[in-house]
Amino acid sequence: MEMREIYVYINGEYYLKSEAKISVFDHGFLYGDGVFEGIRAYNGSVFKLKEHIDRLYSSAHAIMLDIPLTKKEMTKAVIETLKRNRHTTAYIRLVVSRGIGDLGLDPRKCSKSTIVIITDRIKLHEKGAKEEGLKAIISWVKRDPVDATTHEVKSLNYLNSILAKIEANNAGVDEAICLNKEGSVCEGVAENIFIVSNGVIITPPTSTGALRGITRNVVIEEAQKLGYRTIENEITPADLFFADEVFFTGTAAEIVPVIEINRRKIRDGKPGPITQELMREYLKLTRDPQEGVPIC
């Protein structure tokens, strides 16, 4: 075990983890006013870094949050943080909050946004999740609607997902599936969702309120390259129960099979063959330096 303390980037300076602190007046803390990204580096290359940086700036644009760095400077700051920490395989958390204001929620009181970059070891699902698959429940907590604090924007407001996760924890299962207020399947708590039905790969459109997942996009592209038909279509809870295969996708989770939902087995309750094929392809891709930005 390495005992070296990691450095955390805050507004252009590097602080030891034990000294990396944010003001209690930061509106990220007081109101969840900000945006973030979760990114992964594999063997010296940051997977899909450009896509993550682009999404961060899109999220910031949607909430009218000014990021005082160019995308190029932000990319450099991420790489520099990894280098300082001598991390070649890591989990990266990029957070931009509205910054320090007063006790009112008016963002005009926040003169400068706060930028934080943390790189750390990767925390994965329980060992065996990928091999055996996850058990999930459909949560009663509906996804925030597209005309409200939608999860299409990767904001610091994750209470919607956290409440669903609490339900999964209470039910003693691994993960929760969120429906939108019309009752359509939307996504997991921090993952997009796919089903396989008669060889066709289906995922809900982002108009359900789901995040435009970067892993989701990669999986759609790879599936098409393998010759599968992929469609964005409404998925009902019954479609989940009828599906041949169900899986989640996300930066942290990568691709994980779902084998049981609300105590109904998905087919024979084992990870499906198309899911496993996509998992193998994804593994290859994440190890391909061409797919990311090198840490050098």
Provide, rounded to whole angstroms, the least separation between the CB of residue 240 and ligand PXG: 17
Q: Which residues are catalytic?
A: 154
CA nearest to 219, candidates 147, 283, 172: 283
Answer whether 105's CB lies under 8 Å from 29's CB: no
Mask of contacts with ligand PXG, 239-258, x by CB under 6 A? ----------xxxx------
Between CA 155 and CA 232 the distance in angstroms is 24
Between CA 219 and CA 201 the distance in angstroms is 10
Between CA 31 and CA 198 the distance in angstroms is 45
Q: Could you tell me the two tokens for 221?
A: 């592209």
Provide, rounded to whole angstroms, the least separation between the CB of residue 239 and ligand PXG: 19
Between CA 201 and CA 243 the distance in angstroms is 10
Regarding 187 and contact with ligand PXG (CB under 6 A), the answer is yes
**Sole binder of ligand PXG in the list 151, 168, 203, 256 (CB under 6 A):** 151
Of the pair 110, 249, the CB lying nearest ligand PXG is at 249
Regarding 191 and contact with ligand PXG (CB under 6 A), the answer is yes
Of the pair 94, 259, the CB lying nearest ligand PXG is at 94
The span of 99-107, 187-195, 224-232, 282-290 binding ligand PXG (CB under 6 A) equals 187-195
Between CA 119 and CA 151 the distance in angstroms is 24
Of the pair 67, 94, the CB lying nearest ligand PXG is at 94
Q: Report residue 262 CA to chain centroid gap.
A: 23
264-283 binders of ligand PXG (CB under 6 A): none
Regarding 98 and contact with ligand PXG (CB under 6 A), the answer is no
CA nearest to 133, candidates 229, 9, 271, 245: 271
Of the pair 193, 295, the CB lying nearest ligand PXG is at 193
